[in-house]
Amino acid sequence: MELNSNTRLLKLRDILFEETDEFHELSMDEIVEKMKLTFGPEASFDPRTLKRDMEILEDTGFEVIKNTGCYGKVFYSFQDRVFETYQLRLINDALLSAKFITEKEKKELIEKTKQLTSKHIAKTLPDPMLFSQSANDDYQLVKLSIDHVHRAISERKVLHYQYGKYNMKKEFEYHRDGSTYEVEPYALIWQNDFYYLIGRFKETGEMRHYRLDRMRNIRLSEERFQRGQDFNTQDYVNQSFHMFAGENVWMKIEFDQSLINVVLDRFGHDVSIQPSGDHRFILSTKAKMSTGLVNWIRPGEEKPKCSLPSP
C-alpha cells in the first residue's frame, strides 16, 4: 500500500478500531510498529503527525481515548462501538439457534458481526462450528421470501403465493390443489424458530398466519391495500397462542403452582392469574382453541382442569 496522508489516516483508524477497546490500548510506539506492518519497515512516522491524524479522526466523530499510564506514558484506544459485547452475543446466539439457516451462512454472518468490534472481543464470541445443527433444506427459498415479504409489507402490495407442507414421504404437497393465495401482508415475525407472515386472506377477509418456509412461488402484485387501523400485531400473536390456529375463546385453566413459570413463559407476565386453594392457581386468558393448544395443556396423565366461560 502506498503511503500518503490519506492511506496513513485510514490505516490509523483501522488499527484503533480493530486492535483496541475498553480493555486493550496501544502506545504510540506500538501504533508506529503496526503502521510499519502495512507500509513496510522503512516507512517513517512522526508521532506528532499521528497525533494530528487522531485529532482529525475525532473531528469526524471517531473518538480516541487517551489514558496516561506509568511514568507519564500515553495509551490510545477506541471504545465507542455500535454494539456492546452483550448485544453482539445476543445477535450471534440468535443466528446460531435459527434451525433453518445453513452452517455455511451462519459462519459467514457471524464473521461479519465480528467485524463490528475489536479483534480481542471478536475472539470471545461463540464459534459457529460448536453449535452444529441440521439446517432446513428450504433455506435458499426462505432468504428470497424474506426480501419479497419485507418489500410487500413496506409497499403495501398484495402477495400471491402457493402454500403447503411435507407428507410422510417428505414430499412437499400444496394446499388447495396448488391454487394461489392472495394475502394482504401486515407483519413478518419470528416465533418458535420460524418466520411467519401475518396477513389478511383476501378470499375470506380473515387474519391468518403462514410459515415462510412453506410458502412457494411468492410474487408481489401491483394491487395495493389499506391496512386496517384496528389491527394490533402483538394482540394477534398473543391470541394465536404462538401460532396455534383456531377460534378465539375465553378460557379458565387450573394448574398446579409448580407450573407457574411454564405458564408465564407461554402466556406472558401480563396474563391474569388468581390463587385457587392450596398449591394451585387459575389462568384466565383469551386464546385460539385448537388441537395444538389442547395437546399443550393436557400432554400426560396429570391434566389441569379446563373450562370455557360463557361469552
Residue-wise pLDDT tens digits, 178-188: 999 999 999 98
**What's residue 65's pLDDT?**
96
**Phi, psi torsion values for 98, nearest 5 degrees:** -75, 110
DSSP string, 32-66: HHHHHHHH-TT----HHHHHHHHHHHHHTT-PPEE
- Name the helix (H) or strand (E) containing 5: helix 5-19
Query: What CA–CA distance (Å, rounded) separates 85 from 63?
Result: 18
**What's residue 180's pLDDT?**
97
Query: What CA–CA distance (Å, rounded) separates 124 from 126?
Result: 7
**What's residue 137's pLDDT?**
52
User: Could you give the percent of the chain with pLDDT greater than 90?
Assistant: 44
Question: Once rounded to an integer, what is the mean pLDDT over residues 242-248?
Answer: 58
Is the whole-model pTM more than 0.95?
A: no
**What's residue 264's pLDDT?**
79
3-state secondary structure of 106: helix
Q: Find out whether 125 and 89 touch, Cβ atoms under 8 Å.
A: yes
Residue-wise pLDDT tens digits, 136-183: 456 667 778 888 998 899 899 999 999 998 877 778 899 999 999 999
Strands (E), 121-241: 157-166, 172-174, 181-191, 194-201, 206-211, 215-224
Residue owning grid cell 475498553: 22
Average pLDDT, the chain: 84
**What's residue 296's pLDDT?**
72
